[in-house]
Structure 1
Amino acid sequence: MRNIASVPRVSLGLFPTPFYKLEAISARYGRNIWIKRDDLCGVALGGNKVRKLEFLLAQAQADGCDTVFTTGGAQSNHAMLTAACAARLGMDCKLFLKDRGVTGRRGNLVLDEIYGAPVRLVDTDDYQDIYREMEAEAAGLEARGHRCCRIPLGGSTPLGTLGYAAAARECAVQAMAAGIRVGHLVSATGSGGTTAGLLLGAGLFLPGARVTGMAVDPQPFRETVLDLAAGAAALLEASFQPQEKDLQILDCAGPGYAVPDPAATPAILELARTEGILLDPVYTGKAWAGLLAQVKAGGFEGEGDIVFFHTGGAAALFAMDLPGASN
């Protein structure tokens, strides 16, 4: 097997990110629940995409690229973090985003502007339309001598997936130092790459740990996650055969992708008011609410503690309402 440290990677985040037990929440729910603070990774407002971009932009640099293209929703965390990381590396970044949801000068669209990334809003529900527009502009730039890197939705490719295999290894080291056994890794699932990386990383570095993806998009993610994990394993020349019990995907989309769910608001407020941690209303908030619902229902069976990966997204709190919130 190839060592993950041997895969080219550019340093962008401040790792390892904090890892600690949520004492008040654990006492309240009768389970040991830990948090991995990837929202504190040191780039912009933080988030999981930085780990993926360390691998993806290293490849872009190796290919001699000077311009990065990517896509997402209007308030995409991935797009914003791609703009931030590209700026840090001296690369141009162009964002092609869906003209859906909150499109005014709020949240991540403000940050995209601050990082100098021009945004084209595309009036479509189909990302294939966006990829066609993106490819046309990239082809024009390349005809003029530029080299362009195209990063798909969420940075969820086998190479990007390695970011969260590395995160699982990081978590394994921290868990060993804390003297705990990790039984469950939980994260939001929006394009599949983070959950796939955790699945691969658990198989390699946390034997016996199960992975739960809280799906914030009403898409069938299981095959996507398995395919991405297998592709990342192939890059490492690793033998990887996940068992049925190793992965579960739970539907936490609520009213729909990028739409706040009033049912998640109490969980968001509870974490803020007991642990001082902010979650956004469309990704981490839904995932956290799903985790607590499972704990209440007797889920996450077996031995070992639960680890929640905080994947960022705080800018959404400044772009949309938190339904049902009160003083």
Structure 2
Amino acid sequence: MAEARKRLLIPYQPPAFYVPSAHPNAVIPQVRVALANLPTPIFPWTLPELPEDVAVDIKRDDYTGGVELTGNKVRKLEFLLGDAIAQSADIVVSAGGTQSNHARATAAACARLYGLPCVLYLRKDSEGRNGNLLIDRMVGATVHEVTAAQVKEWKEETVHWVERRAEVLAEATKSKVVGIPIGGSNALGCWGYLHAIGELSAQLDNNIESTYSDIVACTGSGATAGGLGVGLHLYRQSKNIDTSSLGLRSYGVSDSPDYFLDYIDGIIAPIFTGPKARDLLTITDAKGLGYAKSTTEELQFISRVARETGVIFDFCYTGKTVFGMWKDLTSGAWRPQPGKKALFIHTGGGPSLFDRADLFNDVLPPLEA
């Protein structure tokens, strides 16, 4: 099947604003594999209680695939799995939490790629067996629940943990095993959203800044924000405009802004010669009570947005992000420039809702007799 998979590879050309000669020794993908439904559409979006002079559109990256491939991780996996296939991978290994969107998308994408075997190491942070975990198992991933000792090791050296799992499995199976990092967040994964800025430019006739002054997205592991930050910087550079004309705002949902900015510096360095992350984007702390922990106010807001706009968000990532953006817009913490709009990128995550329906019992209307 390795040769059949290689026939799925597509030669990759970076967006016009990325000039390879300006980034010596950069990691530039040579191939990708088509997994996502692109370009994802953009719609007007009327959030409740916004000031009359504030307008927001939404780019539906939750439309990248069906229920099994929805969300931002698919853009990263086009490059990460393209690279794995180019290496003649026999097995792909990755990791995450029980309800990891990345793990689910990796498993589903591997199944689509002629049943490329996928092994997942999942940190047990939920007792449920629905949502993303159900999809992992349905598409044939081999799922290992990570032990407490492994979690300790994981926290101490996250970046290399998956690589070590791949090495151990390769030795045991005498196979070519390729590890994909947690969240798909490495230099190669950043290309998913660097490329997305090229897509957005094409959707807007190479004139993003005429419509939008602010791009808004979630930061959960780093590569989405890193790719968007690099892509927007290079786009602005190609148009000779600055961040006052078009900026990137991100909301961190699992760690501190300083942690993410430092981490993003590390993963964009191999693909980009230019400013540090702190000059590419702002990150606002939106984790609230903590990673995957929700306040009643957050859950009420997610439910209200679903009821009044028909757009569904999860409670862990996109729900916290849109809640943070909405609070800032309604309080005046920031506003789009006059005559322009903000663009919110919906990065998916919906399947995890089906494992934690209990969270919403007290904020949804009761069932009628």
Q: Normalized against structure 2, the TM-score is what? A: 0.79
1:265 aligned to which of 291, 299, 313:
299
2:251 maps to 214
Determine helix, strand or coil for the equivalent of 1:280: coil
In the alignment, structure 1 segments of 5+ residues that lack a partner are 234-238
Distance in 2 separating the partners of 1:308 and 1:133: 31
Question: Is the 8 Å Cα contact of residues 83 and 93 (structure 1) preserved in structure 2?
Answer: yes
Larger Rg: 2
Q: Which ranges of structure 2 fall in alignment gaps of 5 or more residues? A: 1-18, 22-26
The whole-number CA distance in structure 1 between the counterparts of 2:102 and 2:315 is: 16
Moved more, 291-300 or 150-159: 291-300
Note the C-alpha offset of 1:300: 3.1
Question: What is residue 36 of structure 2 aligned with on the other side?
Answer: 13
Q: How many residues align?
A: 320
Question: Superposed, which structure 2 residues align to 1:200-211 within 5 Å?
Answer: 200-206=230-236, 207=241, 208=243, 209-211=246-248
Tell whether 2:72 aligns with 1:36: no
Equivalences for 1:18-97 in 2 at 5 Å? 18-22=41-45, 24-25=46-47, 28-30=50-52, 31-43=54-66, 44-90=68-114, 91-97=116-122
Are 2:141 and 1:117 aligned? Answer: yes
Partner of 2:315: 281
- The residue number in structure 1 matching 2:179 is 150
Which of 128, 146, 171 pairs up with 2:200? Answer: 171
Instruction: Write the letter of the residue equivalent to 1:99.
Output: K
Distance (whole Å) between structure 2 residues aligned to residue 232 and residue 263 of structure 1: 40
Cα-to-partner distance string for 1:98-126 (whole Å, 9 max, x where unaligned): 112x2321111100011100111113343
- Distance between the aligned counterparts of 1:175 and 1:315, measured in 2? 30
TM-aligned CA distance change 1:210 to 1:133, over 3 Å: closer
SS in 1 for 2:20: coil
Task: Name which of structure 1's ranges 11-20 and 26-35 shifts more when overlaid on structure 2.
Answer: 26-35
Distance 1:240 1:26, change over 3 A: farther
Structure-2 separation of matches of 1:297 and 1:7:
45
Q: CA deviation at 1:57?
A: 0.7
Q: Does the 8 Å CA contact 1:45/1:313 hold for their aligned counterparts? A: no
| CA–CA distance in structure 1, aligned partners of residues 334 and 97 of structure 2 | 31
1:194 shift after superposition: 0.5
1-side partners of 2:169 and 2:265: how far apart? 35
Q: Judge conservation of contact 1:186–1:212 (CA < 8 Å) in 2.
A: yes
Percent sequence identity is 34
Q: How does 1:289-300 map to 2 (within 5 A)?
A: 289-300=323-334
Q: Hey, what's the Cα distance between the residues in 1 that align with 2:171 and 2:289? A: 41
Asked if the contact 2:254–2:290 (Cα under 8 Å) also holds between the matched residues in 1, the reply is yes
CA distance in 2, matches of 1:65, 1:88: 15
* Counterpart check, 1:184 vs 2:214: yes
Distance in 1 (CA, whole Å) between partners of 2:29 and 2:124 is: 39
Q: CA, structure 1 residues 92+199, in 2 after alignment: closer, same or farther (shift >3 Å)?
A: same
Separation in 2, partners of 1:286, 1:292? 10
Residue matched to 2:364: 326
Could you tell me whether the CA contact under 8 Å between 2:329 and 2:335 is conserved in 1?
no
- Give the C-alpha shift of residue 185 in structure 1: 1.4
1:99 counterpart (115, 119, 124) = 124
Letter in 2 for 1:197: G
Q: Is the 8 A contact 2:298 2:323 kept in 1?
A: yes
